Structure 1
């Protein structure tokens, strides 16, 4: 597996030099400053490549832009309204420009309104470090009492509604504002940054869009852009919903193995693939990550390797970002399945036999706690995770176990 690292550009407090010292082999990034729906031009793409290519002292970094994460799909495309056809034109143009620059893997998502959702960006864990957390009761309090979404009460069990009300009554305005900021104001990689009124407007527009209709819009998007990706040699890979269950009454169409199978069957070509995110999918107890890798592996073009600890047994429940080997996903079994898939591809002569992966998220530990980097993307916490994953891969590929290198 090709070991990559997500980078948010020159303003990222984790630098290219840090990545070199971590021993990563490639960079995952995006043009976050380009508005959603606009074309990623050759000049902007080459500028980002040049930023990756050098260290602080001007020496070559030896790193390159390997994976796009992400080329955002606009809300207009998801809803099929407004400028959605022009945005499709821009998307295809961006794919062609990326391919011309030698970038062949593009991760994206089809989550409506919110790219990914956490209620706490610095939850303190037992060892003194911090991580991101989704607290289902806190989210219910936001939905019921801060956003005041119509019909929200129907989406939570009675005990969750009652506890959410008790918590809300003890919160200050500052606490409410902080929770709202965590949920809707935009996390790293979010395509758009919104306030509460923006969210309410989007939610109203989704009232008439069921899961089946959103899935149909998704297939329309794929039928439009995948031929361009295929012609350009690009492998598209959709990221799952995060969390992988409904929020704010919005439809979810990428939360389970069945969702992924539907996606791949709808436009059945290798250019239409998936990002297997063990953290997002692992937040749902009925998702079997090693099994998904074995059954869907032929179309896995990108791996996000992280772990979460579920705090209950419900499909929709609380969880927090665990250490990479410390959550509910069997990371050893998942990596073994990924290595077996790579071996199958190599034996078949596939050029893309090496699957790019990155240590996704990480707990803030040691100097991370003072660095204040992007939430979920610390330097040392991710380095620890990458080292653990490397250790598993090295062990599994050792001759005493019989798995091919």
Structure 2
């Protein structure tokens, strides 16, 4: 049987590497007709699906008879093809599957008994992603997930989440304290096992930062919290198929020099796709906000991405909850898409394109 591949509206295979930098949408796991129409109405041609949690309530969630609400699981080739074809039927391109539920690989991250079984399931999932014609797999290394513990009002009273390190208690989330060496050893095992599979499957693996990027949470070290640790991650098991799911919001939380980071990883071809958002403040205390009023100059960073040759997908990440918004914050995302597309158009005009 011939392996299917992503195709455009004319039925031609898509060469994602040949596409220019472009703005798309994502951050949802249920590609309903309403969401897909909305994406297209905003002038976007690209989406990614964020499968951060498993839920039986989403009819188009990749599924098979092995998936319980907790425990080992993998996603089937057939359902991944169905997801891609559903998106292509809306004249859109599926660029990435972003995240698998934490329960699919928590034993791997923490080095617990049963990690060998989990890694085989993850390998199968990555193979199936590649067979299904989906070019990228975004992942994180956060056994406890994303932490937020404050809500603030930003411009015009829009709601935004935040983090205050002083409000975090000392309770252990996974029964004991783990060391950095343990987490690095577990991560190296993950890469050594999975990167050869990703290479064979033609899948790019994209690492997301820890959020918040603090040294430890609940007794678990947060490895991907700074520039140096990301350099180490990219050099640990060298592969052209390993790069960054470049979340600008998390990097802004770190307080790193974003221009230096973009140049370093951009010139090495390690920026695979971008989450474009910003925050006010840096760890240990920050809150999310609109992309035009955070820590960095959005136009400067988008211009730099363009100039270092980044040609991937840029999506708005979390956005403030504006008046009349939905749970997915579609109005806030529409503002961010328009802002990003306007900046990208201006950048191209500046360069005579």
TM range (shorter): 0.7 to 0.9
Question: Would you say the 8 A contact 1:242–1:281 is kept in 2?
Answer: no
SS in 1 for 2:28: coil
Task: Answer with 1 or 2: which has the greater Rg.
Answer: 1
List structure 1 runs of 4+ shifted beyond 4 angstroms. 11-14
| Contact 1:240 1:277 survives alignment (8 Å) | yes
Q: CA deviation at 1:317?
A: 2.0
Residues 109-159 of structure 1, C-alpha deviation per residue, up to 9 Å, x if partnerless?
0113x2111113x5322412211122334x33xx15xxxx2xxxxxxxxxx
1:119 matches 2:88: no
Does structure 2 conserve the Cα–Cα contact (< 8 Å) formed by 1:71 and 1:106?
no
Q: Say whether 1:383 aligns with 2:350.
A: no
CA distance in 2, matches of 1:10, 1:85: 30
Extract unaligned runs of 5+ from structure 1. Answer: 54-59, 150-199, 343-352
Per the TM alignment, residue 271 of structure 1 is displaced from its structure 2 partner at its CA by 0.7
How many matched pairs? Answer: 313
- The residue matched to 2:283 in structure 1 has which SS? coil
**Distance in 2 of aligned mates of 1:252 and 1:124:** 28
Q: Secondary structure at the match of 1:393?
A: helix
Q: 1:12 offset after TM fit, Å? A: 7.0
Describe the shift of the 1:14–1:111 C-alpha distance in structure 2 as closer, same or farther (beyond 3 A): farther
8 A Cα contact 1:37 1:91, kept in partner: no
| SS, match of residue 328 in structure 1 | coil
Matching residue of 2:248:
278
Whole-Å separation in 2 of the counterparts to 1:30 and 1:91: 16
2:31–2:87 Cα contact (<8 Å) kept: no
CA distance in 2, matches of 1:14, 1:119: 31
Structure 2 residue aligned with 1:354: 311
Aligned-CA RMSD value: 2.2
Offset of 1:269 from its aligned partner? Answer: 1.4
Q: 2 CA distance for matches of 1:16 and 1:217?
A: 38
Q: 2:174 maps to which residue? A: 203
Instruction: Give secondary structure in 2 for the equivalent of 1:295.
Output: helix
What's the CA shift for 1:243? 0.6
Query: What is the alpha-carbon distance in structure 1 between the residues aligned to residue 221 and residue 25 of structure 2?
Result: 30
What is the CA distance between 1:366 and its match in structure 2?
Answer: 2.9
1:25 to 45, 48, 69: 45
Structure-2 residue corresponding to 1:108: 139
* 1:268 is aligned to 2:238: yes
- Correspondent of 1:396 among 339, 343, 347: 347
Q: TM-score, normalised by structure 1?
A: 0.72
Equivalent residue for 1:52, pick from 83, 87, 92: 87
Match of 2:161 among 132, 138, 148: 132
Report what 2:24 is aligned to: 4
* Matches of 2:248 and 2:119, distance apart in 1: 29
The structure that is strand-richer by fraction is: 2
Q: Secondary structure at the match of 1:283?
A: helix
Secondary structure in structure 1 of the residue aligned to 2:145: coil
Which residue is 2:9 aligned to? none
TM-score, with normalisation over the residues of structure 2? 0.82
Distance 2:254 2:184 in 1: 20
Q: 3-state DSSP class of the match of 1:397?
A: helix
Compared CA separation, residues 378 and 108, structure 1 to 2 (3 A): same
SS at 1:275's partner residue?
Answer: strand
Identify, as 1 or 2, the structure richer in helix. Answer: 1
Check conservation: 2:27, 2:317, Cα contact below 8 A. no
State the distance in 2 between where 1:8 and 1:98 align. 17
Which one of the candidate residues 301, 306, 326 is aligned to 1:334?
Answer: 301
